[in-house]
Amino acid sequence: MEHLEKIKYQKFIWPIAIALIIWLCTPFKPAGIPVAGWHMLAIFVGTIIGCITQPMPIGAVALLGFTITVTLGLVDMDNAAMGFGNPTVWMIAMAYFLSRGFIKTGFGRRVALLFVRLFGKKSLGLAYSLIAVDLVTAPATPSNTARSGGIVYPIIDSLAHTYGSDPKDGTARKMGAFLVFEEFHGDIITSGLFMTAMAPNLVAVALAKALHVTIPWMTWFIAGLVPAIISLICVPWLIYKMYPPEIKETPNAKEWADTELDKMGKFSLPEKMMAGVFVFALVMWMISSFIGMDAALVAFMAVSLLLLTGVLSIQDILKETGAWNTLLWFSVLIFMATELNTLGVIPWLSETIKTSVSGISWIWVLLILVLVYFYSHYLFASGTAHVTAMYSALLGVAISAGAPAVMAAIVLGFTGAIFGSTTHFANGPATVLFGSGYVKQSDWWRMNFILGLFYIVVWIGIGALWMKVIGLW
């Protein structure tokens, strides 16, 4: 090793400064918050800001926050280490390993090509087919970045170049820009539909559980079904009208897909194994709440089957850095958020806001919370960091105002998916897809603002009415 790892020390300034300011304000803290809770809040806020400024990768920042918390004696090591045993954390890691199987075996690519062959005669049909790939793979792929960037985007890029669309020569609008933006929004919709479709959903579920609100996998899915169907039908058409490709007909897409499928050869044994395990995991997640099986256990079973059948090796699992990185920082942030609740910070905040909104209908309170939650994402570059920072407090306020607990938890969970439709840095898929260069930043912001309003109406408005129909409130 010749050089030290690069650390952006200047980006520590804001996290440290704000954490110290909060800490030094201990003599002026609200009477309802104990000293330990106030100090925990200071470290938590500093850690979250560090996750946003990222002087180091988020996992390293979280580890620093963990070390400081234990070193200062706010939590003993035994209790702190229990955060790494959170089943939701391990479910995320297992689902990352499942998604590795999609990519390693080529099963994800084959599914994508099959959809292109079936529905890709026109550019709009091509968009629907690629979104369908995202839909099929979403339940077992908690990394929406891996799903959009690792499975779907390579297909988009190949198709775009097939039709002479390249951002480098000014031809992005021929086809590539349209497909990139369609896939981005397809990913947002599928991320909202399935609890296991992106990590922030599982963060929300874990935080809700810390507030004694349990959200089964099937309950989340059924609650999101109607808004997702509306979005899957309408959003591609809306984008087609707002941002049409120059090429409307794609008659040779089928031939291109056939050629690529021929290159892949016959449906291989590893692909068949991957498909079987995927279907098994999906069915088990659907029925887990009815048979009393933990959703995390299902994920463990699926990965174990992939190991037993040789689809994945232990080396594949050890090399899946995204899973281990998530396991590290997610465990720490969940531990910190739980301690804030235990030490009385979140109950105090909830009670304070409850008093301030006394007399206001919980429906209006929840709507205000959703709007604050959604539009504050313009300040965040990570969906997970945003959910971790605000979800617990907002859910506590909603419940205190009289909102049905499970309904409020799911509504805020949906918001954590749809607020990805804000900026070009809103989440991992935005970074990957915008970074491809096909869509201009001005177009990205303009169209996302319009579609964001659509999502709020559909996922929060119509979604809440649908949850009334199915008895969640």
In order, the DSSP letters of 367-382 are HHHHHHHHHGGGG-S-
pLDDT in tens, 98-108: 777 877 888 87
Q: Is residue 336 part of a domain?
A: no
Question: What's the domain count of the chain?
Answer: 2
d(CA 129, CA 142): 21
Mean pLDDT across 405-417: 94
Same domain, 10 and 114: no
Joined tokens for residue 26: 């201990």
Residue 39 CA to residue 410 CA, distance in Å, equals: 30
Tell me which residue has tokens 């010749």: 2
User: For residue 421, which of 443, 462, 449, 380 has the smallest C-alpha distance?
Assistant: 449
pLDDT, residue 379, reads: 66
Within this chain, do residues 38 and 186 fall inside the same structural domain, yes or no? Answer: no
Same domain flag for 65 and 189: no
- Looking at the structure, do residues 99 and 211 belong to the same domain, yes or no? yes
Residue 88: the pLDDT is 66
Q: Do residues 340 and 392 make contact, with C-beta atoms less than 8 angstroms apart?
A: yes
Burial degree of 248 (CB within 10 A; 0-12, 13-18, 19+): exposed
Looking at the fold, whether 158 and 293 belong to one and the same domain comes out as yes
Closest CA relative to residue 46, chosen from 13, 11, 18? 18
pLDDT band of 131, cuts 50, 70, 90: confident
**Which of 300, 321, 342 is where one domain is finished?**
321
**Which one of 254, 289, 321 terminates a domain?**
321
Task: Identify whether residues 145 and 224 lie together within a single domain.
Answer: yes
Flag whether 305 is in a domain: yes
In a domain, 461, yes or no: no
Do 226 and 276 belong together in one domain? yes
Mean pLDDT of the chain: 84
The answer to whether the beta carbons of residues 146 and 153 sit under 8 Å apart is no
- Kindly state the average pLDDT of the residues 447-466: 94
pLDDT computed for residue 141 by the predictor: 72
Q: How far apart are CA 275 and CA 102, in angstroms?
A: 9
Residue 100 lies in a domain: yes
Examine residue 390 and state whether it is found in any structural domain, yes or no.
no
- Give the model's pLDDT for residue 19: 94
Helices (H), 243-320: 253-264, 269-291, 295-308, 314-319
Per the model's pLDDT, the better-predicted residue between 311 and 175 turns out to be 311
Tokens 């609740």 map to which residue? 341
Cβ atoms of 306 and 98 within 8 Å: the answer is yes
Residues 59 and 187 in one domain: no
Q: Does residue 417 fall inside a structural domain? A: no
Angle between helices 107-119 and 269-291 (to 10 degrees): 90
Rounded to two decimals, the pTM is 0.70
Same domain, 107 and 192: yes
Same domain for 51 and 160?
no
**For the residues of 24-37, what is the DSSP string, one character each?**
HTGGGS-TTS-HHH
| 259, two tokens | 């050629």
Q: Chain centroid to CA 114: how far? A: 26
Q: Identify the domain boundary among 274, 291, 321.
A: 321
Q: What is the largest CA-CA distance in the chain?
A: 72
Q: What is the per-residue pLDDT for 330?
A: 73
Assign 289 a pLDDT band (cuts: 50, 70, 90): low
Q: Which range of residues forms the domain containing residue 294?
A: 87-321
pLDDT band at 220 (very low <50, low <70, confident <90, very high): very high
Reply yes or no on whether the pLDDT at 340 is more than 90.
no
pLDDT tens, residue by residue, 251-274? 777 777 788 888 888 888 998 998
**pLDDT for res 194:** 92
Helix 441-455 × helix 217-242 angle, to 10°: 130
pLDDT of residue 35: 93
The more confident residue out of 312 and 378 is: 312
Q: How many Cβ atoms sit within 10 Å of the Cβ of residue 141? A: 30
Examine residue 117 and state whether it is found in any structural domain, yes or no.
yes
Same domain flag for 70 and 156: no
Is 130 in the same domain as 64? no
Q: Which residue has the tokens 């400064």?
A: 17
CA 425, chain centre distance (Å): 13
Domain assignment present for 351: no
192: closest CA among 462, 392, 425? 462
pLDDT at residue 115 in the model: 73
Name residues whose C-beta falls within 8 Å of residue 163's C-beta, 6 or more positions apart in sequence.
174, 175, 247, 250
